[in-house]
């Protein structure tokens, strides 16, 4: 199966898994904190780390499976896992300033962009 198709299939599965898991967590937790998203993001990071280690250190995951799992399933499940991985790579490479800029920048600029998008739509 072509890799783009594997990524698309994995993305669909990950998105459905995110929707279902976040919904369950939301139903059984407090409505005052986004526990569903929190759980999804933490589990996504845990899974990404484990699959990455299996791929890099033990060669137990081939390139097609890696694309399916990391880009597809976990990309659909949570992009936070990709963000965390990329920030971790920068730290591992000794690029602490870039890692900090990535972490703080994406959160702060992301919040600003969200605000800008809502403000733009409300103004129209």
- Count up the domains in the chain and report the number: 2
My answer on whether 77 and 120 are in the same domain is: no
Distance CA(110)–CA(27), nearest Å, equals: 27
Answer yes or no: is pLDDT of 76 > 90.
Answer: yes
- pTM assigned to the model: 0.77
Given a contact cutoff of 8 angstroms between Cβ atoms, the answer to whether 62 and 44 are in contact is no
Percent of the chain with pLDDT over 90: 63
Q: For residues 101 and 4, what is the distance between their CA atoms, to the nearest angstrom?
A: 31
Question: Where in the sequence is the domain holding 102, given as residue range(s)?
Answer: 96-124
88 with 101, same domain?
Answer: no
Whether residue 102 sits in one domain with residue 88? no
| pLDDT digit string, tens, across residues 82-121 | 889 899 999 999 999 999 999 999 899 989 988 998 999 8
Same-domain check for residues 87 and 104: no
Residues 17 and 64 in one domain: yes
Residue 20: Cβ-neighbour burial (10 angstroms; 0-12, 13-18, 19+): exposed
Both 26 and 81 in one domain: the answer is: yes
pLDDT at 56: 83
């Amino acid at each position: 199966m072509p890799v783009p198709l594997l990524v698309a299939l994995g993305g669909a599965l990950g998105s459905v898994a995110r929707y279902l898991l976040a919904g369950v967590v939301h139903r059984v937790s407090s409505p005052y904190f986004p526990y569903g998203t929190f759980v999804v993001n933490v589990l996504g990071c845990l899974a990404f780390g484990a699959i990455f280690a299996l791929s890099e250190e033990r060669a137990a995951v081939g390139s097609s499976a890696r694309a399916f799992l990391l880009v597809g399933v976990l990309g659909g499940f949570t992009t936070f896992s990709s963000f965390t991985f990329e920030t971790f790579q920068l730290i591992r490479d000794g690029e602490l300033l870039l890692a900090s800029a990535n972490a703080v920048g994406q959160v702060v600029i992301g919040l600003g962009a969200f605000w800008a998008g809502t403000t733009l739509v409300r103004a129209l």
